[in-house]
Amino acid sequence: MDPISIDVGGLVRKTVTSLYSHLVTRPTGRAVRMAIETQLSGTVARSLSLIDLSEVTILDFSCADEVVAKLLQRYVDDTAHEAFFVFCGVREPHRDQIQVVLERQSLIAVAETGPGTFELLGTPTLVEADSWSSLERRGLLEPDGLTEFLPDDEARAALDRLVDRRVAFRSPGSGRYHALSRLVQHLL
């Protein structure tokens, strides 16, 4: 699974013909989301996208809803296209808006909030958050070593829910669990 990088600031400038990278109206957010979906339509059945928000100066709630929440909703249950996302360049002016829209929709997402710093935003359960943190620290968990790092059944079940919620990846061949941050690190 080769990650693809999508520069949201560039999409804003190209899609709404603006010199500024402001995401401040629902139609602007919808246009950017549709441009992202168009790029993803040309990918294989499984994709990992780095959605780069670093050039976005202003992000309001309606655009966070369109670009983040609706994008995740579109793909979280799609069995024909297994899409994973890492939102990169999430700074303090973006974080609250993204957190709120994810909470409203009961979604979770992986966000790069600083160089090499990744967070799970949205509404993970406590067990999901702990399991994600364990995976994030290691980067990779082998199926036969799960009980060593996630000793109880609930934590291992939470890891599988994270895969279902598309914030962790499980290799269909080897059964290995991968932190999304490690899968995109060569793009950062």
Q: Is the pLDDT of residue 91 over 70?
A: yes
User: Which two tokens mark 40?
Assistant: 């993803």
User: Which two tokens mark 52?
Assistant: 């780069």
- Residue 32 CA: distances (Å) to CA of 27, 104, 150: 9, 21, 39
- CB distance 120 to 132 below 8 Å: yes
| Mean pLDDT confidence for 109-133 | 95
Boundaries of domain holding 130: 3-187
Please, which residues have CB within 8 angstroms of residue 110's CB and are 6 or more apart in sequence? 85, 86, 87, 118, 119, 120, 121, 167, 180, 181
What CATH code is carried by the domain that includes residue 120?
A: 1.10.10.10
Number of domains in the chain: 1
Q: Is the pLDDT of residue 130 over 50?
A: yes
What confidence category does residue 184 fall into, taking pLDDT thresholds of 50, 70 and 90? Answer: confident
Element (H, E) at 49: strand 46-52
| Residue 180 or 44, more confident | 180
Give the Cα separation of 99 and 96 in Å (integer): 5
Give the Cα separation of 108 and 18 in Å (integer): 30
Q: How crowded is residue 77: how many other Cβ atoms within 10 Å of its Cβ?
A: 8
Return the closest-CA partner of residue 181 out of 168, 172, 170. 168
Mean of per-residue pLDDT scores for the chain: 89
| Residue 157 or 23, more confident | 157
